[in-house]
Amino acid sequence: MKLYSILFLLFSVVFVHGQSLPIDFESDILTADFVDFDGGIATVIPNPQSGGINSSSTVAQIVRDGGTIWSGSKIPLASNLEFTTLNSISMKVFSTAPVGTVVKFKLEGNGTAERDEVTTTTNEWETMIWDFTGEPSSFNEVVFMFDFGNVGDGSASSTFLFDDVEQVFGGTQLDLPVDFESSTVNYTTTDFGGNVSSLVVDPEDAGNHVVQAIKTNGAATWAGTTIGTPAGFASFIPLTLTDSKMTVRVWSPEANTPIRLKVEDSSDPTHTCETETNTSVAAGWETVEFDFTNQAPGTELLSVGLNMGWKYNMASIFFDFGTEGSAAEKVYYFDEVRFGDLSSSVKNDFYAELGTVFPNPTNREWTISLEHKEIVNLQIFNQVGQLLFSANPNSKVVNVDASSFSSGRYLARISTATEVGSLKLLKN
């Protein structure tokens, strides 16, 4: 009976103190709810830095004083986190540490998952977001590790405030083809080896978005960017020995720049295939083709991987592969990541070259025309893929009333008797 009572009491304590997101530290979470480790000391305190984006009364604080480079604290949760819809974790952070300080957010439970982000400001509150797209619902502890990689000294720069820990929607998981234009897709990229990438406006086309990749000073010879989060694409890339190609539209400051493309299984990084090609254009856009039956030296054959049942749902791109980053940092761009060979990409770009739309952007009406062929079918979609307009004009010129369309970006899908292509539309 005594043993039963003790077990019941322990279960009750765990049940009472198990927490759930969101956490704002105003009432539910106490200092006693934290589990400190290896030199991290967490407390719940009155907000000493009220202002900016965070004027709440109470926040959490972690002071790192000695211990290990991974010291921190964690909070057990009452149930497992689910990332199907709310796929990212957001948290407000205040630090006097230098900009670029690593903040690791780790999930524990049945296995682990962790993401690193760096601070972008100092001596003021900022909102940081860690993307856990594709992670399973098997984690019931949230772990906070500030200034990861360094040993704390108990000073102001080793003291961190945080607040408002919550799950947020970070966009749907991306899938091929990737054009970086949808407002609802998660275009987070994952850098490694000293590469720095970001989603930017195309420097040669204000109506287009692309990823900028900077090979920084001292970057590794293998520095690159994973196209997406660590979860990879929503679907596996349908590579076979007879359908083995992908294309990427790239911009390089120099011709003959080696570019490597690597595919892998997001759940097993040993299942990979890599291939490489060179640019042919300097300071201009071109679409390059990658054939995975022509594997890069020292990497696994596609045939071997396929024979062993490997599947690939992640792709990483490496600019100027094999060369270390120099003080004269080089800037590259990429867009239009597609499965298929170069002829397919050219066909997809057919109407962008031979078709015209005017005015674009427009306030009232688009005039879409082809030079040599009749438009058999015309469809216009918004950024989330909803069909807004459809017609079968059988004409080389079509006028589309855009007055009822909201401001933003649209995609026109154009069919002739023999081909299908697309044009990007803009509405003011």
- State the CB neighbour count (10 A cutoff) for residue 266: 19
Q: Which CATH class is domain 185-344?
A: mainly beta
Tell me if the bond preceding 361 is cis, omega within 30° of 0. yes
Residue ranges of the chain that CATH labels 2.60.120.430: 2-168
Residue 329 pLDDT more than 80? yes
Mean pLDDT of the 186-193 span: 92
Average pLDDT in the 49-58 region?
96
Residue 368 Rama label (left phi>0; alpha psi -120 to 50; beta): beta
Q: Residue 49: which of 156, 150, 154 has the closest Cα?
A: 156
Q: For 74-122, what is each residue's pLDDT tens digit? A: 999 999 999 988 999 999 999 999 999 999 999 999 999 999 999 999 9
End-to-end CA distance of the chain: 75
Strand 172-173 and strand 102-109: the pairing is unpaired
Q: In whole angstroms, what is the distance from residue 400 CA to residue 423 CA?
A: 13
367 half-sphere exposure, CB direction, 13 A CA radius: 4
Report the distance separating Cα 139 and Cα 154, nearest Å. 30
Q: What is the DSSP letter of 296?
A: P
Both tokens of residue 118? 């760096």
What does the alpha-carbon distance between residue 425 and residue 412 come to, in Å, rounded to a whole number? 7
Question: How far apart (Å, rounded) are the C-alpha atoms in residues 185 and 174?
Answer: 6
C-alpha dist (Å) from residue 41 to 9, 48, 154: 27, 17, 10
How does residue 18 score in pLDDT terms, banded at 50, 70 and 90?
A: low
Rounded-to-integer distance, Cα 357 and Cα 337, Å: 24
List pLDDT tens digits, range 409-425.
887 878 887 777 777 78
User: What class, spelled out in words, does domain 349-427 have in CATH?
Assistant: mainly beta
* 361: Cβ contacts below 8 Å, ≥ 6 apart: 207, 426, 427, 428
The class of domain 2-168 in CATH terms is mainly beta
State residue 221's pLDDT score. 97
